[in-house]
Amino acid sequence: MNRKSKVIFESQTVNLVEHGQAIGGGDKIPPFHNLPGKSRILVVLLGRIGDVIFTLPSIIALKQARPDILVDWVVEDRCSDLLVDHPDIERLIIFRRTEFERLYRARKWGLAFGIIRTLIRDVRLHRYQAVLDFQGLLKSGILTGLSRSSLKLGSPSTYGKMKEGSWIFSRQIPLAPSARHLIDRHFLVIRHLLGDIPFNRMFYIRITEEEKKRVRETLDSMGWATPSPQGSPAPFILIHPFASWETRQWPMDRFVSVARHFSRKGFRIGIIGGGGEVQKRLLEPFYLFKEETGAEKTGIKNRVAFFPGIFSLREAGFLMTQSSLVLTDDSGPMHLSAALGARTLGIFGPTDPVRLGPSYGNQCASVHRNLLCQPCMKRRCPIGTLCMEELLPDQVIREAEALLSVPAAGFDRNGIIGSFKTDPDR
């Protein structure tokens, strides 16, 4: 991997809390392997955004228990922004997937597979004391198999078992009944590696002052930093109305109905996303809503604003912490918002909020119908996605208003921004 795609940082330890709570109902688990001092381990988790966010608490817990352990992480470029300059990662190995796919489509086979060769070379650069596969798919399994270590462990992951033959390359950690959420399932790997160490789902990333400044300047240019009559910054709600599965997508006109309700209550409305033509087409109802709010001539500048493609992941995360509420389909931005301590309401249909929902305190919650077919975990629905069609705006509005009365959580200490779980699973 060239110098642009390999980032090496001095490992640091950030001790933000003194006590945690191990999962598993108090049963004692001896360490699976006694790692010597200054061991180096490799984390194999390439993406997606939510997967990275679900995995980081385990690595943070590992570093708090054993600050001497050096952690390398292999990740795809589309998610690497969350891990660059992270204080607990010694070496970040970035798979340039975007460039690989572009070269592959252009049939530039030599250059495309040169990226793969570089990735394999960097994965094999060190002999690791342990390799941890948190993804449990074929691509992560192959990289785990190619890495140099006699100890390779795999997470039971979302479905309770490794998939696509990834279990061939590592030892799958058994799923424990206590590990209901995916964050806790990933921690089972660390627990088997190190034994009973504290765990409170702490999460943090580094956000620089330059990144914060860019977000604040953008808000100021829109008039959103102008104080309200009460003297505080004008309140705004962020909406991420996109999902990677069509079955996860709440109808766009329902999002608009919720936005209209809160706009009439004095909130500005910001739309966030990754950008691109597909999202632009989906947002047509919101463009009409913006025209509607402009025609009302209230004197409020930019009551509706569009942010897709404007901010990096870390900048978007900081924007979320400045908002009054983040409303979103089950998606990567939902997980990021919740993990950073922002008020977060996730809309769920086919996926399971118990395993995959926002879970960092009372300031985040999920809303869903309780149909017999939920959760089905299907990307296509044979009966018309009733779980989304029957979820009405009034129910979402009630849940959102309840969250607005809950104090936001999270911390921001010298550019380390995050939160940790403070309440038991509900």
Does some domain include residue 279?
yes
Residue 49 corresponds to which tokens in the numbers above?
A: 């955004």
Give yes or no: residues 169 and 266 share one domain: no
Give yes or no: residues 55 and 81 share one domain: yes
Residue 73 corresponds to which tokens in the numbers above?
A: 């992480």
Give yes or no: residues 159 and 305 share one domain: no
The strand pair at 152-154 and 416-419 is best described as unpaired
Give yes or no: residues 296 and 179 share one domain: no
Give yes or no: residues 325 and 397 share one domain: yes
- The answer to whether 355 and 181 are in contact (CB under 8 A) is yes
Does some domain include residue 221?
yes
Angle subtended at Cα 51 by Cα 246 and Cα 37, rounded to the nearest 5 degrees: 175
Look at residue 215 in the predicted model and tell me its pLDDT: 94
Give yes or no: residues 52 and 86 share one domain: yes
Convert 86-101 to b/e letters by CB count within 10 Å (16 or more is b): bbbbbbbbbbbbeebe
Of 138, 170, 200, which marks where a domain is finished? Answer: 200
Does some domain include residue 254?
yes
Give yes or no: residues 255 and 196 share one domain: no
Give yes or no: residues 39 and 149 share one domain: yes
Does some domain include residue 282?
yes
Does some domain include residue 424?
no
Give me the helix-helix angle, 252-264 and 393-404, nearest 10°.
50
Of 151, 185, 200, which marks where a domain is finished? Answer: 200
CATH number, domain containing residue 395: 3.40.50.2000
Does some domain include residue 68?
yes
Look at residue 25 in the predicted model and tell me its pLDDT: 34
- The answer to whether 327 and 239 are in contact (CB under 8 A) is yes
Give yes or no: residues 113 and 143 share one domain: yes
Look at residue 227 in the predicted model and tell me its pLDDT: 55
pLDDT, tens digit, for every residue of 136-181?
899 999 999 999 999 999 998 877 788 888 888 988 988 888 888 8
CA-based end-to-end distance of the chain: 44
Q: How would you write 374-400 as a 3-class SS string?
A: CCCCCCCCCCCCHHHHCCCHHHHHHHH
Does some domain include residue 426?
no
The secondary structure element, H or E, covering residue 305 is: strand 304-306
Give yes or no: residues 151 and 278 share one domain: no
Give yes or no: residues 311 and 233 share one domain: yes
Give yes or no: residues 222 and 188 share one domain: no
Domain of residue 251 covers: 207-419
Strand partners, 76: 95
Domain count, the chain: 2
The strand pair at 40-44 and 70-76 is best described as parallel
Of 176, 200, 224, which marks where a domain is finished? Answer: 200
One digit per residue, the tens of pLDDT, for the chain of length 426 reads 333 333 332 333 344 333 333 333 334 444 555 788 889 999 999 988 999 999 999 999 999 999 999 999 999 999 999 999 999 999 999 999 999 999 999 999 999 999 999 999 999 999 999 999 999 899 999 999 999 999 999 998 877 788 888 888 988 988 888 888 899 999 999 999 998 899 989 999 999 999 999 999 999 888 887 555 555 567 999 999 988 888 888 999 999 999 999 998 989 999 998 878 888 888 999 999 888 877 666 556 678 989 988 999 999 999 999 999 999 998 999 999 999 999 999 998 888 888 888 888 889 999 888 777 777 777 787 777 877 888 899 999 999 999 999 988 889 998 899 988 766 554
CA–CA gap between residue 400 and residue 397 (Å, rounded): 5
CA–CA gap between residue 137 and residue 45 (Å, rounded): 10
Does some domain include residue 177?
yes
The secondary structure element, H or E, covering residue 218 is: helix 209-222
Instruction: State the DSSP code for 166.
Output: G
